[in-house]
Structure 1
Amino acid sequence: MMKAIEYLLSIDLNYIVIGLIAVFFTLEHLLSTQFSFTDRGKHFWNSFLFQIVFLIGNIFWAIAFVFCIEWLNQKEIGLFFLIEIPVWLKLILGVMLLDLATYWFHRISHLVPLIWRFHRVHHSDTTMDSSSYFRSHPIEVLFWFGSAPILMSAIFGFDLLTIGMYFLVATPFLVIEHSNLRFPSWSDKTIGLVFTTPNLHKIHHDQDQYYTDSNFADIFILWDRIFGTFKYKPAEEVKLGLVEFDEPKKQTFWYLIRSPFINIEKI
């Protein structure tokens, strides 16, 4: 079992992401989609540019990230260095605790105006599909995405195996959650009791701030249910994006890159 896990974790995560995007992007073209596109070509081009920036940012982020985790492990910093627990239990706890930390970091990115300036780039997408997973400002990718795992490693002593397992589980969730495919409503009332379903995550991308500030969890929607941020509305009633980014000129790659440094009034 551990050999299988180690083999999966040895695969470059970028290859996994690209493979998932290719599969779901193809399905979105072949099957009935949930949200219509007014200009799919322009959306694809924007997504492609964000994908390139995302992957390049991941390279620099990974170097610093691995250095920090290895340094913490060498110094034996964290609670798991004080207790003896099986590897399988450490992996399960690691995935759950890292997802909990990501929930809070995600929630903070909506509450702190400076961080929201960068995070709103992800929410500005009015025609979401699986490639929207990449639609994040490079500064947010470099300085914010790795903060939760590093902090949790300092507290609990997570190693690269545990963190790798978290990303291996979280990445498919994130790609599927952003996909422009129809999912049955019954999945929200069954799977959605514990896990984040695509319909529940799309509510998080609704233009209405009441819904935007909800359903923050990447894997376990349970965190939103526990901490009072769970919201529900039928998927067909969701209107994606941010009102202040509705104009076509505000959907271009270069505008979105500059947008955190522009005073855009929240509507």
Structure 2
Amino acid sequence: MDFLNKLLGINPNYIVIGFIAFFFSLEQITKTPFTFPSRIKHLLQNIQFQLVLIILNLFFVTFQVFIIQWLNSQHIGLLYLFELPLWVKLCLSVALYDITAYWVHRWTHRIPLLWRFHRVHHSDTTMDSSTVFRFHPIELLLVFGTGNILTAALFGTDVFSMALYYFVLYLFFFVQHANLHYPSWLNSTLGLLFVMPDHHRVHHQQDQYYTDSNYADVFILWDRIFGTFKIMPIDKMKYGLAEFDEEDKQNFLYLMRSPFVHIPRVHSNKRQPAQTNPD
């Protein structure tokens, strides 16, 4: 527990810097499944989202922590009904944060107003490790941040377990978005429980039939249980959204204001047969 305390005591911004330096470097020195030009330009565009998030999060994280700690002080939530060992409660809390994120993620695809913000992340036509940063700050802070508060209110999860969840989440995010080759056996082993890169790549497929699947962040189990799991061959994938294909729609300023602009959805007809149970 002392080690975990020290690990989670590290400034999360340092953790993110370490992850992007590691994965982005690997993408430049290894053979990758997709060949994309202008990687530095792409990185600089996406980093701007993270810089805005860091500034805004200085205010929101204080509010979020205050609310969750107040809920804990009142013993609100299902976990307070049971006496559980610390490690069991910690693992359960991570899973509970993740299943809430799964449902919030599904809502961002189904509710038009939320999709306007979430499509910023899906707009990336050349996905790599820096795509982890390409989220509209309003979505991360107000939508998913509210989801964390809701998790604490319903289940009694605390700030410490939320910090652990985000540490795990950052690692999964960088692994999932990185333009790297991974062994195919991961899908039929760890991929039975956890979200593997090939699973999340399907979620970034341009065809909305596939975009609206594989919503989980850490545990692919949620998609398997709730019927939203799909898989397709990696060589058939085309990233992004057709309505954002133009180069001038890939820059930071356009993407920041895009939720407030009416952009009709362009539906693709190029669909590969879904494989819902490849194992």
TM bracket (short chain): over 0.9
Q: What TM-score, normalized by structure 2, do the two folds share?
A: 0.92
Residue 156 of structure 2 is matched in structure 1 by 157
Q: Residue 144 of structure 2 aligns to a residue in which SS?
A: coil
- SS class of match (1:216): coil
CA spacing shift, 1:57–1:36, aligned 2, 3 Å: farther
Q: Is the 8 A contact 1:178 1:201 kept in 2?
A: yes
Are 2:134 and 1:135 equivalent residues in the alignment? Answer: yes
1:83-142, CA deviations, whole angstroms, 9 ceiling, x for partnerless residues? 211110001101111111111100110000000000000000011111110101121122
In structure 2, the gaps of 5 or more residues are 267-279
Instruction: Please report the TM-score for the alignment, with normalisation by the length of structure 1.
Output: 0.96
* Aligned-pair CA distance for 1:80: 2.1
Query: CA-to-partner distance for each residue in 1:221-257, whole Å, 9 max, x for gaps?
Result: 1110110000010112110000000001101111101
Q: Give how far 1:17 is off.
A: 1.2
Query: What one-letter code is carried by the residue in structure 2 that aligns with 1:165?
Result: L
* Superposed displacement of residue 49, structure 1: 1.1
Question: Which segment is superposed worse, 54-63 or 111-120?
Answer: 54-63
Structure 2 Cα separation of the partners of residues 190 and 163 of structure 1:
27
Q: 5 Å matches for 1:57-136?
A: 57-136=56-135
Matched, 1:148 2:147: yes
Write the distance in 1 (CA, Å) between the matches of 2:124 and 2:183.
23
Query: RMSD value over aligned CA atoms?
Result: 1.2
Aligned counterparts of 2:60 and 2:204: Cα–Cα separation in 1: 26
Tell me, yes or no, if the aligned pair for 1:132 and 1:178 is still in contact at 8 Å: yes
CA distance in 2, matches of 1:222, 1:256: 32
Q: Mark the runs of 5 or more structure 1 residues left unpaired by the alignment.
A: none
8 Å CA contact 1:203, 1:232 repeated in 2: yes
Q: CA separation in 1, counterparts of 2:208 and 2:50?
A: 27
User: Which residue does 1:53 correspond to in 2?
Assistant: 52
Please identify, of 196-205 and 46-55, the stretch whose mean Cα deviation from structure 2 is larger: 46-55
Aligned pairs (5 A) from 1:1-267: 2-267=1-266
How far apart, CA to CA, are the structure 2 residues paired with 1:234 and 1:63? 43
Say how many residue pairs are matched.
Answer: 266
**5-14 or 95-104, larger mean C-alpha shift:** 5-14
Query: 1:59, 1:238 → 2: CA distance?
Result: 37
Runs of 4+ in structure 1 displaced over 4 angstroms? Answer: none
* One-letter code aligned to 1:17: V
Percent of matched pairs sharing the same residue: 54
